[in-house]
Amino acid sequence: MLLFLLRRLGVAVLVALTVLTLAFLLTRVSGDLAISIAGPNATSEDIETIRRVYGLDRPVWVQYLDWLGRAVQGDFGESYFFRDRVANLILGRMPVTLTLGLVGLCIALVVSLPLGILAAVREGTMLDRAVGIVALVGQAMPSFWLGLVLMIIFGLQLAWLPISGVESWQGYILPGVVLAFSAIPSLTRLTRSGMIEALSSDYIRTARAKGLTRFSILVKHGFRNAAIPVVSIAAVQLGFMLGGSVVIETVFALHGVGFLAWESISKNDFPVVQAVVLVLALIYIGLTLLADLLNAVLDPRLRTG
């Protein structure tokens, strides 16, 4: 188990360093940062002053090593627009984004797991085909369009739920549903395929021969083995949700990390953009590592893979 953990940690560190490098380079290849910071009406003297003040006149590799050294210590510099430490901005906005992602994942699991199990139990029936159609529609539906539709129906016409802000817990429902809708198809299909494979296994036939109840066979024996790939996909989907919060938080005006990223992009606030990309990527890497460890606990055979 220790060797398995060390291998996964090594891969996670390499991926994190790659993300650090890409987050830095992407802002550099997009154009001259000094011109973007100075604005369209700045003179050449203003641009040169900004280049010196922010250290943009140094070689790129020197700027990278300086940023890398500070980033690994949690120091992402100061925001050009908000005039505050980038780390403070992200920490202040992160609770909204994490809460939204967890709400979306919980809704997705509550809906997709029963649907996947029912589709597997009723394989080849109308119910199975109906679940497949729901999954197909959910995969193809744009999240921003669904968000606008839900806002019009439940926020404006029925006035059941707020359409912006998170002053109360109800503010997370609509954006959480939108995030969940994008994850439900893959989780449902994976649960269905895993349950079909598990229900055709020898240990299930043995459990039936012992006279165990149908519920015990499905949940205790079948779903426990079918849940192994679902754990990985759930972690991946949570990472996607946190990354997709840029769109959802903008649509619903939720002041989380995603909305912060949109504000920073529109204001050419590159230190914040770099930090948001890095933090969300690191969370995604951490979730993937956690999923690998959970899978190793559920299936000891994976520890030697």
DSSP 172: G
Which residues, given as ranges, of the chain have pLDDT below 70?
A: 1-2, 4-5, 28-33, 35-42, 203-204, 207, 210-217, 219-222, 224, 295-305
CATH superfamily of 86-304: MetI-like (1.10.3720.10)
Q: Are the C-beta atoms of 75 and 87 separated by less than 8 Å?
A: yes
Q: Are the C-beta atoms of 269 and 263 separated by less than 8 Å?
A: yes
Q: Are the C-beta atoms of 76 and 262 separated by less than 8 Å?
A: no
Q: Which residue has the tokens 């809704």?
A: 107
pLDDT at site 31: 62
Query: From CA 4, how far away is CA 304, in angstroms rounded?
Result: 7
61-88: per-residue pLDDT in tens? 787 888 788 887 778 778 877 778 888 8
pLDDT at site 187: 86
| Domain ranges for the chain | 86-304
pLDDT at site 32: 64
The overall average pLDDT reported for the chain is: 78
Residues in the chain: 305
Q: Are the C-beta atoms of 1 and 281 separated by less than 8 Å?
A: no
